[in-house]
Structure 1
Amino acid sequence: MTTSVVVTGLGITSPNGLGTQDFWAATRSGKSGIGRITRFDPAQYPARLAGEIPGFAASDHLPSRLLPQTDRMTRLALVAADWALADAGVRPAEVPEFGMGVVTASSSGGFEFGQGELQNLWSQGSQYVSAYQSFAWFYAVNSGQISIRNGMKGPSSVVVSDQAGGLDAVAQARRQIRRGTGLIVSGAVDASICPWGWVAQLAGERLSTSEEPTRAYLPFDSAARGHVPGEGGALLVLESAEAARARGARVYGEIAGYGATFDPKPGSGRPPGLRKAIELALDDARLTPPEVDVVFADAAAVPELDRIEAQAIRDVFGPGGVAVTAPKTMTGRLYSGAAPLDLAAAFLAMEDGLIPPTVNVEPAPEYGLDLVVGRPRQAEVRSALVLARGHGGFNSAVVVRAAS
């Protein structure tokens, strides 16, 4: 019998809310965290808006010894992990150290830390470069620092598949639980809103250059012209359903299905892989399309990518056959952190019986989607599909199901 893997804790750091309660209150009400960049002067760049996390002071949450060796991304991740474990009622010191692991994703690593050390190198010399540069920039650093802080010596890893990575990490964590690991912290937190990171994101040519926060990120809208980046994400505590029941844990729901594909070479004439990823996830969850209550869209806000996603959803569910939402319109795209945040939102939607809205968007009729816009929609949510795509052809889909 296949082991059911459930989520027992959530830790959220988001531009529209720091912590699960603040995030969900903002998301329910359609409150956006997108605005002009404040972490550096964006005047010389063509894109000037981002989803920044306001009011986060790492020194309020972490010991001072960690601050010189960590990037903002890692500080956010450490705090999110602390919150997720507390939410799950887990005290790591009371759990066997080889029975816990960490699987995260990263899209860019610690860009801001790396930029600072490069500036030290060219302005002052190599002797002024921190020894912590050897790992603080690295994609795997969040997994490493979380495992060290919590004494987690079980299976740990990092997944790098751009914006699909957050779902891929959760799927890898589910595999490790099924292989016998007692508990895995999984998900992703990204943060690269600094000049070096900003130039790298601009190079992808998918950023919106609008200076109006309410008109900058408009997926499935005829005015879509790219996305707004953001920082943050979510970390989740995963356990087997049996272990969660044995300790009387609160269960948000189950990671019920997963599918991943890679798009064919451009110009090959073969279809994109997103539809197949959806079908694989539904098959893994043993659900039929009518049993899915809502789709949390990838929402690229690039017309061709929106067309591909809408087509995949219509092909599986039929025109207007399932409610679709993109709450990331309130946060910006958080890269590898975006989809885990959507997973958290899906579980919270199940608890509250509502679908969070897509803000500021006027759905273009040619997409044929039942997009939830403007305000939340009251609905019984028993299962949800979360989609994510990474630059270069990654497609991932996860089905989550309410606790039975």
Structure 2
Amino acid sequence: MSRRAVVTGLGVVAPTGIGLEDHWAATLRGRSVLGPLTRFDASRYPVRLAGQVPDFVTKERVPSRVIPQTDHWTHLALAATDLALDDADARPADLPEYEMAVMTASSSGGVEFGQREIERLWRDGPRHVGAYQSIAWFYAATTGQISIRHGMRGPCGVVVAEQAGGLDAIGQARRVLDEGATFVVSGGTDAPFSPYGLTCQISNGRLSESTDPKAAYRPFDGDAAGYVPGEGGAIVIVEDADAAARRGVSRVYGEIAGYAATFDPPPGSDRPPTLRRAIERALDDAGVPPADVDVVFADAAGVPELDRREAEAIGAVFGDHGVPVTAPKSMTGRMYAGSGPLDLVDALLSIRDGVIPPTVGVRRIPADYGIDLVRDLPRRVPVRTALLLARGYGGFNAALVVRAVPDAVAAADGTTVPR
């Protein structure tokens, strides 16, 4: 990559809180925020727990004319985008419209909106289905709404790769900087809670059916029995370092240094999974040897077979207990397209504050996993480089490397960007 991709703004709307510092404080407390699913009556479903965004009042965060046109998932992303733009001290009206891009990820799409319209269809007939059904459920709806609202007319797209999509979107953001964009809104959110949305998720056979929030999602635990779904995520501002310097940004959180994606062979194949290859390619893309990685933010499926495969991939690259591993999503649930971007936020704040957030709820790690899992309490250590991993149902793998930048990043014209 000929341009340096730096992160200048972070916006969080997650089960751990709305806003960067509220989320980070809750994460470092190391307490699960999983609880009963309340967005609809889930009493007849085998999955009854979820990670839900607290105290989100849509009319306070989304323009009134947009609310009836869009799904809750898009509402969360619009709110997170506003927070990220404020954090980056960026006014889109002051920036070149064709140099601003939007690259987001989605997994579930607008399932809550779609549920309402399906109910109207069957109850009242097709004349009662709203026109916005044609777009509000669609995976690209969030990207489109962000682009329209802020006049961002550069490259726009959406990645649909289940859990891996959030990191893939960040990788795409880095790529479009080389294609002429200078400012990218990226990341992702999901809001997967409606009867048909949850039914679709249950079909993958990986969701926890436990009703105990403290025991339901235990990644890398010998008694792991699936994951708990969550809603929300994060939106980040990715900029060309030179353009950010010219814009006079007050702070850079870190650099998107490396990225890779792979796809696993079909089930039953004699070929091995490809997560290890994604890790190695991302490190190679960043020019970072394994010894320089300070922490791995794991995918953490919470399914024994998948946890074992991830532990093996990490061990193959770093050696047994060779690098601290963490999964703060154990507190929020797996948020599909929102998980990778939220991990990115946590990784950048780990770099900022010199602390690794914990994985919670894990009691017994099989000895042959060979991982140094940060459990229950934060670990205070210097962090300069972090590796983020994500896997999507169907065989998607993504790996992203982020690292600290020098105290002042020099731009081509001699100006600097403070950390």
In the aligned structure 2, how far is the partner of 1:170 from the partner of 1:243?
A: 18
- 1:2 to partner: Cα distance: 2.0
Identity of aligned residues (%): 60
In the aligned structure 1, how far is the partner of 2:377 from the partner of 2:113?
A: 39
**Alignment partner, residue 174 of structure 2:** 174
- Is the partner of 2:180 in helix, strand or coil? coil
Deviations 1:360-392 (A, max 9, x none): 112332211000001000010000000000001
Give the TM-score of the pair, scaled to structure 1. Answer: 0.99
- 1:192 to partner: Cα distance: 1.3
**Alignment partner, residue 348 of structure 2:** 347
CA contact (8 A) 1:218 1:329 kept: yes
AA of the residue aligned to 2:223: A
In the aligned structure 2, how far is the partner of 1:283 from the partner of 1:271?
A: 20
User: 241-250 or 4-13, which moves further after superposition?
Assistant: 241-250
- Map 1:45-64 onto structure 2 (within 5 A): 45-64=45-64
CA contact (8 A) 1:33 1:53 kept: no
- 1:213 to partner: Cα distance: 0.3
Give the TM-score of the pair, scaled to structure 2. Answer: 0.95
AA of the residue aligned to 2:345: A
**Alignment partner, residue 43 of structure 2:** 43
- 1:113 to partner: Cα distance: 0.2
- 1:180 to partner: Cα distance: 1.7
In the aligned structure 2, how far is the partner of 1:366 from the partner of 1:6?
A: 37
- 1:247 to partner: Cα distance: 2.3
In the aligned structure 2, how far is the partner of 1:188 from the partner of 1:288?
A: 29
- 1:248 to partner: Cα distance: 2.6
In the aligned structure 1, how far is the partner of 2:75 from the partner of 2:307?
A: 33
AA of the residue aligned to 1:190: D
In the aligned structure 2, how far is the partner of 1:379 from the partner of 1:126?
A: 59
AA of the residue aligned to 1:73: W
- Map 1:184-223 onto structure 2 (within 5 A): 184-223=184-223
**Alignment partner, residue 285 of structure 1:** 286
Deviations 1:180-214 (A, max 9, x none): 21101001100011111111111111000110001
AA of the residue aligned to 1:229: P
CA RMSD of the aligned region, Å? Answer: 0.9
In the aligned structure 1, how far is the partner of 2:191 from the partner of 2:318?
A: 34
Q: Does 1:17 align with 2:17?
A: yes
Q: Does 1:365 align with 2:330?
A: no
- Map 1:295-310 onto structure 2 (within 5 A): 295-310=296-311
Structure 1: gaps of 5 or more residues: none
- 1:266 to partner: Cα distance: 2.0
- 1:81 to partner: Cα distance: 0.6
**Alignment partner, residue 391 of structure 1:** 393
Deviations 1:34-89 (A, max 9, x none): 10111111110111000011110110112211111110000000010111111111
Q: How many residues get paired?
A: 404
AA of the residue aligned to 1:402: A
In the aligned structure 2, how far is the partner of 1:325 from the partner of 1:198?
A: 27
User: 115-124 or 28-37, which moves further after superposition?
Assistant: 28-37
**Alignment partner, residue 91 of structure 2:** 91
- Is the partner of 2:163 in helix, strand or coil? coil
**Alignment partner, residue 333 of structure 2:** 332
**Alignment partner, residue 401 of structure 1:** 403
Structure 2: gaps of 5 or more residues: 407-419
Q: Does 1:256 align with 2:257?
A: yes
In the aligned structure 1, how far is the partner of 2:123 from the partner of 2:266?
A: 43
In the aligned structure 1, how far is the partner of 2:245 from the partner of 2:373?
A: 36
CA contact (8 A) 1:112 1:193 kept: yes
In the aligned structure 2, how far is the partner of 1:307 from the partner of 1:367?
A: 6
CA contact (8 A) 1:8 1:238 kept: yes
CA contact (8 A) 1:5 1:178 kept: no
**Alignment partner, residue 126 of structure 1:** 126
- 1:267 to partner: Cα distance: 2.1
